Amino acid sequence: MSSITTREAQRGFSAAEYMTCLTGIVWREGLRFLHQRERFVSALVRPLVWLFIFAAGFRQVLGISIIPPYETYILYEVFIAPGLMAMIQLFNGMQSSLSMVYDREMGNMRTLLVSPLPRGYLLFCKLLAGTAVSLLQVYAFLLIAWFWDITPPLSGYLTVLPALILSGLMLGSLGMLISSGIKQLENFAGVMNFVIFPMFFASSALYPLWRVQEGSPYLYYVCEANPFTHAVELIRFALYGQINWISLAVVATCTIVFMIGAILAYDPSRGLARRGPAGGEG
């Protein structure tokens, strides 16, 4: 078997073989998603609670001035919609990482990582599969939001797709990087609380940054440095057919950095994912 693997590595792999691997991983993630219907429901409940309940209460408190990409005054619900879309992707990225921790504890991760295909490509396929699942959840949210009079231009539903893919890859790779250092499933929830909530609340998802700057200049700089802020702004501008070049550069750079970090971390020879016998992946 080792000689066959060596010969495969020497001659390389065809495009069809790479595509077969990608299809298999995406299909597996899709089946897992279909069998976990509560995951789909919970992914929608969180943003819908903010949209239907909190937005109604904050509408009269948080006035929104005319700021790009908006050309007129908007309701608070319209402003937070891109942030709630990014929230779905944030939670989905962490949920996909949770499944990796579970697979590693159960020993299923070994089946994936012993493949002769490059480990970086395998992790990228896993990341792409998780992003595809998040896209389904985001567009389901947009469909429900449409009945709540959140109606961006029709072209926005297409122009936002590249932004959603890039932001999904960034948030998924961040979750993958974090999961590489978690040894037990029980520790995951605690770690996520120190990642999800600070990233979400210290961003422009729920309020414009000029409001934050008025209240706390120091928090404003934290929000500006938060990659999640730029993911939200990238989605916000793309939803209206525009490009926020600064956010695009930040999200693209963070995606590359987080992905490289995850690939190195899942390398058992030097990464954080080095395990003893107890983890089943030693």
pTM of the full predicted structure?
0.83
| Confidence band for 10, pLDDT divided at 50, 70 and 90 | very low
Q: How far apart are CA 83 and CA 51, in angstroms?
A: 11
Exposure letters 87-117 (e unless 16+ CB within 10 A, then b)? bbbbbbbbbbbbbbbebbbeeebeebbeeeb
SS3 content of the chain, % helix, strand, coil (to 5): 75, 0, 25
Given a cut of 80, whether residue 192 has pLDDT beyond it is no
Q: 87-112 pLDDT, tens per residue?
A: 999 988 887 777 776 666 665 566 66
Mean pLDDT value across the chain: 80
Higher pLDDT, 116 or 171: 171
Given a cut of 80, whether residue 231 has pLDDT beyond it is yes
Q: 32-57 pLDDT, tens per residue?
A: 776 666 767 777 888 888 888 887 77
| Confidence band for 167, pLDDT divided at 50, 70 and 90 | very high
Given a cut of 90, whether residue 59 has pLDDT beyond it is no
Alpha-carbon separation of residue 157 from 129, 136, 174, 214 (angstroms)? 21, 13, 25, 33
Report the pLDDT value the prediction gives residue 4, as an integer from 0 to 100: 46
Report the pLDDT value the prediction gives residue 106, as an integer from 0 to 100: 61
Q: How far apart are CA 54 and CA 87, in angstroms?
A: 15
Residue type, 212: V
Exposure letters 227-252 (e unless 16+ CB within 10 A, then b)? bbbbbbbbbbbbbbeeebeebbebbe
Contact 179, 188 (CB under 8 A): yes
